[in-house]
Structure 1
Amino acid sequence: MELTLVTHDSTDFGEGTLERFTEETGIEVTLHAAGDAGQLVNQLVLTKENPLGDVVFGIDNTFASRAVNAGVLADHVAAGAPAEYLLPAGMGGEQLTPITSGDVCVNVDREWFAEAGLAEPTTLDDLVDPAYADLFVTSAANTSSPGLAFLLATIAAKGESGWQDYWSALVDNGAKVVAGWSDAYYVDFSGPSSEGDRPIVLSYASSPPFEVTEEVSAAGGPAPTAALLDTCFRQTEFAGVLAGTEHEAEAQQLVDFLASTEAQEQIAPAMFVFPVDPEAQLPEEWAAYAEVATDPFTIDPAEIDANRERWIEEWAAIALP
């Protein structure tokens, strides 16, 4: 038999991971990409009467309650899922299994700044400094989970009374808003693996190891990009069984497999995020180049649920032409 696993466009399970699930169970898995994470959730909601597949991966803590409230998920959480990553009851705690976690942070192209003779920014406030005009690209809060995470970081930092003024200043300073993370990182960012000319991008704290070549690693040199750890919002990505699947037992098996130590050891480095399983091992170079924010911005899931749509509408009025 075959399951359809619905994901966002940036999903990478690592070489051979899903094939191992097939070897163990005899169940084939077909991937269906449905845009960035925000678009993914929107598609699941719009198609809930005729689901796009059997299992979803890529719903995160910023969009989870939208999917839960729309009834697109069936109850199932993998046994042994770490409690610190589970969502509260009624907001995904019964339907979503945590798989990976990462800090969404502003990243900089260190080589660009060195060549330009300009100090690298370090804080959210630096992004509205005229010295950094027209240098920042971010993904949109209405279509991208990293984009929404960044919006939430600014709300946490500036409060209800200040975040809109901050975004107005950010837009006035030439910030570019694109649909998704891939567009921002690979098209507009100036980093080594990218094609653009903007040296400041919204990405992850774990992105710099991706830019480290074997030559840099062998020489013990620094990564050519860096994450600004004072700008981060912590994001967790989940897997869940889609309501209406005709293969619920098999779908639960796939969720359980994605939550396994074996799978997380492949998925996390492929996507340059961290596994939630404390037993999962990561490549050695991560110890040298991957950092975790010590004090990331956070907002209570209940507050996100109560205000997300309003915040996105208010943000769009400022940030989208």
Structure 2
Amino acid sequence: MVKSTSLALAVFAGLLAAPAFAQDVPNLKIYTYDGFAAEWGPGPGLKAGFEAICKCTVDFVAADSSIGTLRRVQLEGATTEADLIVGLDTAIAGEARDTGLFAEHNFYFDELTLPYGWTDKNFVPFDYAHFAFVYDSDKVANPPKSFEELIAMPDDFKIVIQDPRSATPGLGLVLWIKAAYGDRAPEIWAGLKPHILTVTREWSESYNLFLEGEADMALSYTTSPAYHIVEEDDDTIKAALFTEGHFAQTEVAGVLRSSKHQELAFQFLDYLTSADAQKIIPTTNWMFPVIDLGYELNPAFGTLPQPEKTLTLPEAEIEANSAAWIDEMLKAIQ
């Protein structure tokens, strides 16, 4: 009887203590885009990996795009519940920094494998790839090797692209053409107009149109073929390399000044660039890691041809002119 009573009291005490213990565990809230947080994306693996070492819980809150995550935190301001954003990219990093909502970090980046150096004090990179048009080599035997060759294709050769106001690849294409052609950009856009089947709001819409055979090429990434190789054992989807060079997208993460768990948020950034986290990203987000994974990188990525030239634009120039460049593009293709 004494043992039973003691056990009952211990169980009762445990039940009382459980809610208090749960409340003591910090919850890290991360804003990101829907593909990152999806069950097939890197979010679940990163959540499990970080929770195993942080004595915390992680919640990903998804928007329809990385641009959407920035707009949401801009609306919420200092009252946002988010501790950090994962999935902004270098095209909108300047705008994000100018909001004043992001804290500075103290990380060093001497082991990154990006195609260019990294010194940003607000944002930490976690993956990258170059923008490219992908095609099915069974259907397109001789893909264009430049924007000018694409323009010269018959008018029934169609491409699908994304809206730069809502999708980061769409904005990336605007920057790519501007970096390659400068003041000739409106001429290039006008030349592309007959080939543009449609401009979709998000990447997934246009990529699905391409996979369904509605278009000959889709704006995507040099790493997109890796998905088809790994998941479908299909090596017919390829990225067309252009002689002008390609613009790179680097995805970044940043901690919000208003975070109630800043130390924990910075620990997540540190984890995000660790080997344990980086080996999750390539075959879930289908981008290159930012560190050398050696044999742990799926060999499919080693088979992907990469541009010989990486195009860039100064961040200040992007921030000052991107709205005008988008208007320039829309005017040319409408």
TM bin (shorter chain): 0.7 to 0.9
Note if 1:69 corresponds to 2:98.
Answer: yes
Question: Which has the larger displacement, 251-260 or 121-130?
Answer: 121-130
Contact 1:111 1:224 in 2 (8 A): yes
Note if 1:4 corresponds to 2:21.
Answer: no
Give the alignment's Cα RMSD to 1 decimal. 2.3
Taking a change above 3 Å as real, the CA distance of residues 61 and 294 of structure 1, as seen in their structure-2 partners, is same
Question: Which has the larger displacement, 15-24 or 72-81?
Answer: 72-81
Residue 180 (structure 1) aligned to one of 185, 199, 202: 202
Q: Report the structure, 1 or 2, having the larger helix content.
A: 2
1:8 maps to amino acid: Y
Give aligned-pair identity as a percent.
Answer: 27
User: Residue 60 of structure 1 corresponds to which residue in structure 2?
Assistant: 89
Question: Which has the larger displacement, 62-71 or 309-318?
Answer: 309-318
Contact 2:90 2:249 in 1 (8 A): yes
User: Residue 312 of structure 2 corresponds to which residue in structure 1?
Assistant: 298
| Per-residue deviation, 1:214 | 7.3
| Per-residue deviation, 1:20 | 1.6
Question: Which has the larger displacement, 272-281 or 143-152?
Answer: 272-281
Larger Rg: 2
Q: TM-score, normalised by structure 2?
A: 0.82
Contact 1:105 1:232 in 2 (8 A): yes
Q: Unaligned stretches of 5+ in structure 2?
A: 1-25
2:137 maps to amino acid: R
User: Residue 189 of structure 1 corresponds to which residue in structure 2?
Assistant: 210
Secondary structure of residue in 2 paired with 1:143 = coil
Taking a change above 3 Å as real, the CA distance of residues 244 and 69 of structure 1, as seen in their structure-2 partners, is same
* Counterparts of 1:296 and 1:3, CA distance in 2: 35
| Per-residue deviation, 1:40 | 2.6
Structure 1 residues 93-172: aligned runs within 5 Å:
93-113=120-140, 119-133=142-156, 135-160=158-183, 162-172=184-194
Structure 1 residues 300-319: aligned runs within 5 Å:
300-319=314-333
Contact 1:78 1:259 in 2 (8 A): no
* Counterparts of 1:9 and 1:86, CA distance in 2: 29
Secondary structure of residue in 2 paired with 1:99 = strand
Note if 1:273 corresponds to 2:302.
Answer: no
Taking a change above 3 Å as real, the CA distance of residues 255 and 216 of structure 1, as seen in their structure-2 partners, is closer
* Counterparts of 1:196 and 1:44, CA distance in 2: 38
Contact 2:28 2:265 in 1 (8 A): yes
1:19 maps to amino acid: A
* Counterparts of 1:54 and 1:292, CA distance in 2: 35
2:271 maps to amino acid: F
* Counterparts of 1:107 and 1:235, CA distance in 2: 16
Structure 1 residues 241-252: aligned runs within 5 Å:
241-252=255-266
Contact 2:133 2:217 in 1 (8 A): yes
| Per-residue deviation, 1:80 | 4.2
Note if 1:32 corresponds to 2:61.
Answer: yes
* Counterparts of 2:305 and 2:153, CA distance in 1: 28
Aligned pairs, number: 300
* Counterparts of 1:81 and 1:4, CA distance in 2: 28
2:315 maps to amino acid: P
